[in-house]
Chain A
């Protein structure tokens, strides 16, 4: 079996600031990898490099595609990378507004990927969209409403539905519960955990919240100043941190 995503030697700079340096890992099918660290530690840059949204200066990202076999994400033509990103991948932004079309209905938001890959039956698209709305626990009579009328938590759930409707295998998540109320967070985390399990998704999850990481991820990478300072099984890293920085991170969360 191949890893579904394999990164090695990734490096990226912005001006004279190093955003990430020599990052590598293998992500196995069905696995959720967490990337944690404080803001500015390079997590989001890393995620964008993995998803092909940013070009790293060094290193490679190899994805094991269902359609094309093993491909280097940054060697792919833009056409193919965009196709992959709307068929085999999902990307959940921290700010749902960036991942949604705010000017069209929830149904159109969920249906877009289906239409982009050729669905042309309005009734079918609508039915599927409605089902997905239900799966992310939004009342189905909100199907024709625009996300502007949704609460923050609902928008985030809609964004998740919009991503998962095409049955992706790999999902990138950037602080999917950031900026939401604690009770709302808990509901989304539950939802995500259920979906990852039932859909057998692989995922890379960036978060600064160790609680989120503990709940959702199998393995953890701790980043500081653009480098990986520690990695391992999530429970192991959180319960017995080896690196001084990780120890500080773990110590700084309030005991639950």
Chain B
């Protein structure tokens, strides 16, 4: 552990945070938890293996889920992130007024049980949906693409089915995320 400090500024859920002096080896997850009191992003392993800690990095390449537990604040400095607290629309008192389509689908599908991993799945599924807005896929590829996108996230309760079904349904039911299949009769 380093005792060197660096000055850090980043955007979290659209809000500028910092500049603040932080240990240079502090992880983004620790910053969220211990400095910002944003605890909806959960610690699971500290190794980037389980992705309970996934948040969305809004970078030049678009939305990308990253494991906050192994992402240093030094790298995060100057970047923009979305945590689970920043997805739904809230009123001035912080009450939820509108869930995102992914959150709503997880709710409607009874996707989660204990919910410890839910914020990571929200991040991964949301990033997938946003990627597909720019690069839609064929409907018959949706299940494979969803499986690829969410396979990194570990859930111990649910067996994954309802998370993946919910994500699949969001993609299939949202105009613009899928395109007609490429066939000989309908070449792209």
Chains A and B form a bound pair: no
Please report B residues at the A interface, Cβ cutoff 8 Å.
Answer: none
